[in-house]
Amino acid sequence: MDLHVSRARLRSRYRYLTGFFLQLALSLGFWEVLLPGIGLRGLARRTRSSRYRRIARDFRLMAVRMGGVMIKVGQFLSARLDVLPAELTDELSGLQDEVPAENFESIRLLAEAELGSRLESVFEAFEPEPLAAASLGQVHRARLPADAAESGAFRDVVVKIQRPGIGDLVDVDFAALRRFGGWLQHYRPLRKRVDVLALIQELSDTVHREIDYLAEGKNAESFRANFADRKRIRVPRVVWSRTTARVLTLENVYAIKITDYDAIRAAGISCSLVANVLFDTYLTQIFDDRFFHADPHPGNLFVSPIPATRNRKATWKLTFVDFGMVGEVPAQLGRGLRDMVVGVGTRDAEKVVGAYQSLGVLLPGADVALLVQAEAQLFDRFWGMSMRQLRNIHHAEMRQFALQFRELIYAMPFQLPHNLLLLGRTVAILSGMCTGLDPDFNPWRQIAPYAQTMLVEEGISDWQVWLDQAGDFVRELLTLPAQTARVLGRLERGDLRLSMPEVSSQIYHLEGALNRVVGSVILGASLLAGALLYISGGRSLALGFWGLAFLTLVWILLFARGHRPRG
């Protein structure tokens, strides 16, 4: 049996896709290059929003009609908020990987060719009607025979089977996409912001990994091993004797879909708790395991109720399926992400921007100082808000922020490097799922304890870094009383030409308060640095910092007063 797509069909598909992309490229050239070049930039700008929506709608309809890899491309583009306008990403965000099921006889022939035997010989039962159908493959319920020893305690399985000829379709689709990407590279504004061909190659690598079911089985086992000690997480077991590169047989763990909120509540399970466990699980995957499930859409996540027994209360598990799309976090990326979490958890705008730089997220020439100001303002106004509160912020307030930082927003100095591609998409989907489960979901509450844990871990494992930072901090703080005294002295002498009669009478109290605040900060920093050094074995240095803390305490009690105004 020929399991490949005919050459005539592949040529026809390539011509159609190339024609569709050529039309897009010509439209872009006409509106964004030709019209501005002849002085009609205003017309192009006024029609841009409606044109982008129409392009996204046409692409979505084409993707659903053509299937193959085009739906994956649309989902990928919907997460590229860093390089695509909102009109495109909003229209594509609802694109679901759900297409009509393949003819069962074609599926049967492919599965039997892969397994080397008839389905009736391999499975005790096999349902012809698919449980789910996607662009690359579909899933059927089945039952293992009683003598399938490796299955252990389970016999109910799901069998994931590739669509016949999908490998050929993937190759043709990416050939058309690379041609389109080559055309787009000639558009300079886009070329400055993103390497289109590199992004297409990244997506190609991801899809080719996704259609290797042996690799997916290994991913499932790795994930299962990582969460072996987490009682809340469930991962299906792989039946290797009935698994090949194009057929994957797994333990059937399908349960309540994570977006079926009524069913979750009816089972006596808190949707808010599910959201918290889901978010915390991804923090563990990204920062501890450095290996994460990169396709957390509703069809791949379930809530599995576990009934009560004589010795155990009723509980539930968060169940993951479909490990074709996974991501890894290299060491350098992991360090940058940890800095990001610590910066967000501690509301340290400079640390957050520093994390942007180490991650390669900032474009060359970005105004770092202005970005720090913007981050600090965002923390002051929005830190700690729930997702519901963030959504209800009045547009006038957002407009005021945009006007204040219009130069930064216009420049948009961000880009997502290739190694952040899957992670960015995953976080975007995850955010939506948590908010759906709990409109009041508050990511800050989840991140802050994680950031504090990281700070403690970093302090214990690398006390020299803490020592350097504490030294810089103390040196800066020690200069503040003198600087304050100089400024206040100028105020008293009238050098700053302040003529308010009450200023002099308040200087004494103001200077004393500032001195006490500075002294308290130095005291706290010295005690913390000493404790961390003592834990890490640097006892002599720890004693030095504790000595500084003692002297600071004496200074606060006896000398931290302002200069009483004369007269």
Domain segments of the chain as ranges? 7-94+168-198, 103-163+212-254, 260-458, 462-558
Q: How far apart are CA 185 and CA 199, in angstroms?
A: 12
- 103-163+212-254 has which CATH code? 3.30.200
For the segment 162-209, what is each residue's pLDDT rounded down to a tens digit? 999 999 999 999 999 999 988 888 877 777 666 778 778 878 888 888
The mean pLDDT of 333-354, rounded to a whole number, is 81
Assign 150 to helix, strand or coil: helix
Q: How would residue 486 be classed by pLDDT, with cut points 50, 70 and 90?
A: low
Mean pLDDT of the chain: 78
Instruction: Locate 266 and state its tokens.
Output: 């009816």
pLDDT > 90: percent of the chain: 29
Q: How far apart are CA 413 and CA 367, in angstroms?
A: 8
Q: How far apart are CA 224 and CA 237, in angstroms?
A: 8
| DSSP at 419 | G
Q: How would residue 423 be classed by pLDDT, with cut points 50, 70 and 90?
A: confident
Number of other residues whose CB lies within 10 A of the CB of residue 43 = 12
| E strand or H helix at 485 | helix 463-493
- Output the pLDDT for position 500: 46
What is the separation of C-alpha 405 from the centre of its chain, rounded to a whole number of angstroms? 25
CB 112 within 8 A of CB 197: no
For the segment 257-308, what is each residue's pLDDT rounded down to a tens digit? 999 999 999 999 999 999 999 999 998 998 889 999 988 878 889 999 998 8
Q: Which of 91-105, 130-144, 306-320, 416-430 has the lowest mean pLDDT?
A: 416-430
Q: Could you tell me the pTM of the whole model?
A: 0.69
- Give the number of C-alpha atoms closer than 13 A to the C-alpha of residue 401, restricted to the C-beta side: 17
CB 287 within 8 A of CB 247: no
